[in-house]
Structure 1
Amino acid sequence: MADPRHHIDVNLSDTISNLLEGFLQSRKKHRGVIVWSPPRDASGLESKEGFGNKWKWLKTSCEDMPVATNYWRTKRGEEPLVF
């Protein structure tokens, strides 16, 4: 049986649900990932605050993601996230 964390319907739902519900009106925390560079370059990945609630296993398996996330947040003058 396939791992449910990798199910395409779950991934699509998490990726676009805020857009479909109205991004600014949504009460859900931002739970996506911003890709600032080619996806294979981990230094361009920025995870949003709510991302870790469901996808914590991915953040912990990609050691570069917390560093890259806090780089982009600091660049915008935001507080770093604690992972």
Structure 2
Amino acid sequence: MQEVGEILHLASSGRVIVRLSKIVLQDQILCDEKSTKVAKVTELIGPVAKPYASAISLTNNIKKFVGKKMFTFDIPTAKKHKENRRKRKWKQ
């Protein structure tokens, strides 16, 4: 695990805002020091030198994680490729 940033606050939209110290990928899972999954990164925002991440909370009690350091696993999660599936037309 490597440290990637700190949770700043919970936005009015329900998203979690994270100040990043290292670049993360979209759809990457953020966890705390005990490997508890906390949030999933949805988009990167702000300047390139000091980026922020908007993330969806994966826990009901996100307020207890505000101000804590966030970590990510070295192995990225597998992506699902739903857009590449074709719909089959049935002949009758």
Please state which band the TM-score falls in when normalised by the shorter chain: under 0.3
- Normalising by structure 1, report the TM-score: 0.28
Rg larger in structure: 2
- Normalising by structure 2, report the TM-score: 0.26
Structure with the higher helix share, 1 or 2: 1
Structure with the higher strand share, 1 or 2: 2
